[in-house]
Amino acid sequence: MSAGNGGCLGAGSTVRTRIALVYGGVFLVLGALLLLVVNLLVRAGMDGETDAIVARAGGGGGDGGVAVVEAYRIGDDVGRAANEQMLMWSCLSLLVIACGAVVVGWWTAGRVLRPVHEMTARARRLSERNLDERLAVRGPDDELKELGDTIDALLGRLEAAFDSRRRFIANASHELRTPLATQRAAIQVGLDDDCGVRQVLLDANRHSERLLDGLLLLARGERGLAEREDVPFAEVVAEEYEDAAVAEHGVVRGNRVLLRQLVRNLVANAVVHNVPGGTVGVRVEGGVLTVVNTGPVVPPGDVEGLFEPFRRGEGRDRTGPGAGLGLSIVRSIAVAHGGSVTAVARGAGEGGGLVVTVTLPVTATRP
């Protein structure tokens, strides 16, 4: 778990390392202050003891003055040597114990932060596909457990929000299917073929049905895959586009119907958003599908927005043949299969258009 930009350790340092170093640094400072006080007190005490010893040594007569001077000199030398030895060994001991304090701090921080690492690992495995899982932190009722319970409560609210959105899309689409079918039947039966309004109404009805089908498929892709099977990806692509170039066959673990819809939407998007006399190229290599088309030049900054629902390319309006869900559905299906989708805009010199690449995890490949 990477820490933020704290202290002079930089953004790459971990909380555990910082705790250990802070623990060792505080111990070193406090230990140095303690040794300084002890050395000053010992030195003051030794000076007093030296004076007493010298006074006793020079208490006799005769050459007492010479003996006192010699005794003071010897006492100063002994005291100085003792102070130097004590200071040296005190500093060495302080450094050794400070290193030990860092090790102890490292071990203690690891024990304290272990629940945080477990929560981080569990949180990384969570996505909108498995929001029903919880961190479920166990242990004493402390700050870490409070943090875990707060995250679990947040996950519960997110799960409810995602489920509500998915149910709304699915239910609304299902509920609107029946009146649209009734409307289409009424138009076909109630209006003559030569009626000018008949075809306009039928086109609008079909557009609404395609929109509902896209919403249902998008909601299904966002719910994830309940069942999976081994699907030859190149075979699925060939079913939707016979002229696809296959460099390597790959087996994808997923849903065959959704994968066919993914290929169908990509090819349809490449055909619809093209220019007269343009080209479409489809290539499969393992679990990588690449679709290239000519077409209007798309600004690089607008490419990511094309994957948003109801977004169309430049010059497309809401009465056109598409519902604006093609690339959104492609991304939703790819993510449901554990894959990803990227798009790159081609320049005017390359004929414009896009290069869309779908990457899916494969279980086996063969030339």
Which tens digit of pLDDT belongs to each residue from 186-238?
887 877 777 778 778 887 777 777 767 766 766 666 666 667 889 999 999 99
Per-residue pLDDT, averaged over 150-159, amounts to 83
Contacts of 76 (CB under 8 A, 6+ apart): 50
Q: 125: which DSSP letter?
A: T
A 10 A CB-CB count for 126 gives 17
Give 4-14 pLDDT, tens digit per residue.
444 444 444 57
Q: Looking at the chain, which runs of residues are DSSP E strands?
A: 229-232, 245-254, 280-286, 288-293, 340-345, 354-359, 362-366
Comparing 24 with 169, the larger pLDDT belongs to 24
The helix/strand/coil state of 242 is coil
For residues 81 and 87, what is the distance between their CA atoms, to the nearest angstrom? Answer: 10
Most confident of 10-14, 22-26, 157-161, 264-268: 264-268
Nearest by Cα to 183 from 210, 212, 204: 204
Q: For 295-347, how does the pLDDT look when each residue is reduced to its tens digit (9 = 90+)?
A: 999 898 888 888 887 665 544 444 444 556 678 888 888 888 889 999 999 98
From CA 91, how far away is CA 195, in angstroms rounded?
Answer: 103
Region 252-272: mean pLDDT is 88
Q: Let me know: does 118 contact 139? Beta carbons within 8 Å.
A: no
State phi, psi for 231 to the nearest 5 degrees: -120, 120
Where residue 30 falls (left for φ over 0; alpha for ψ -120 to 50; beta otherwise) is alpha
Contact 119, 41 (CB under 8 A): no
pTM for this predicted structure: 0.51
